[in-house]
Chain A
Amino acid sequence: NAGVTQTPKFQVLKTGQSMTLQCAQDMNHNSMYWYRQDPGMGLRLIYYSASEGTTDKGEVPNGYNVSRLNKREFSLRLESAAPSQTSVYFCASSGGLAINEQYFGPGTRLTVT
């Protein structure tokens, strides 16, 4: 059981470039989430998917898009990266009997120059 996996681990982009962060979970969870973590700000929800085929905005969705590819995979896309999107991005999933408990991946450190 790998839990929640994320790729890549690190990425450096120039302003205006695009990229997709990948997330996969093997726990058969229905819900998946994307957060960003910035110093002093804690974890802030970008987008979430309550079930396969649905996505909803979180607290800070501007500049991002998501795709729930199937039950296992949830990707986050930056269409035109900005320095303000420099952050650590975490994917999480929840479901099953412990429906509210979220399990996190190891994170992607993104720097936009």
Chain B
Amino acid sequence: QKEVEQDPGPLSVPEGAIVSLNCTYSNSAFQYFMWYRQYSRKGPELLMYTYSSGNKEDGRFTAQVDKSSKYISLFIRDSQPSDSATYLCAGGYNKLIFGAGTRLAVHP
């Protein structure tokens, strides 16, 4: 079993939809969590960083961590075609462990 599990998708939504991306993790020692966005043939770009449990909001993006259920979520409001990318979740305590990524397509 991978330490961080993520549904690979693809997830296809219409422009303007609310997108929910989710991951589960198995290591209860994880203290910090991140979401990266990766456009095709580019390097991952840090989107959100969360330390321990709770919510963090940045513009149209909200990251949630529930340590009791070992669940990590990213919500995208008013999704745009430019949000079409692969989204990688990651958790760690001294090293980052990544999920395999979820491909998101937002169509006009």
Give the interface of A toward B (CB within 8 A).
4, 40-45, 48, 58, 90, 98, 100-107
Which of chain A's residues has its CB closest to B95's CB?
A45
Alpha-carbon distance A67/B66, docked complex (angstroms): 38
Besides the contacts A101-B34, A104-B44, what 19 more A-B pairs have beta carbons closer than 8 Å? Answer: A4-B43, A40-B100, A41-B100, A42-B6, A43-B88, A43-B90, A44-B98, A45-B95, A45-B96, A58-B95, A100-B49, A100-B92, A100-B96, A101-B49, A102-B34, A102-B46, A106-B42, A107-B41, A107-B42
Tally of contact residues, B, Cβ under 8 A: 23
Closest Cβ–Cβ distance, residue A93 to chain B (whole Å): 12
Alpha-carbon distance A105/B99, docked complex (angstroms): 19
Closest Cβ–Cβ distance, residue B32 to chain A (whole Å): 5
A101-B101 contact, Cβ under 8 Å, with A43-B88, A48-B95, A58-B95: no
Chain B contacts with A in 31-73, Cβ cutoff 8 A? 32, 34, 36, 41-46, 49, 51
Closest Cβ–Cβ distance, residue B82 to chain A (whole Å): 19
- CB neighbours (8 Å) of B100 from chain A are 40-42
For the residues of B in contact with A, the DSSP-based class is: strand
- CB neighbours (8 Å) of A107 from chain B are 41-43
B88 touches A102 (CB 8 A): no
Alpha-carbon distance A84/B76, docked complex (angstroms): 36
Alpha-carbon distance A43/B101, docked complex (angstroms): 9
- CB neighbours (8 Å) of B16 from chain A are none
B98 touches A42 (CB 8 A): yes
For the residues of A in contact with B, the DSSP-based class is: strand
Alpha-carbon distance A33/B8, docked complex (angstroms): 24
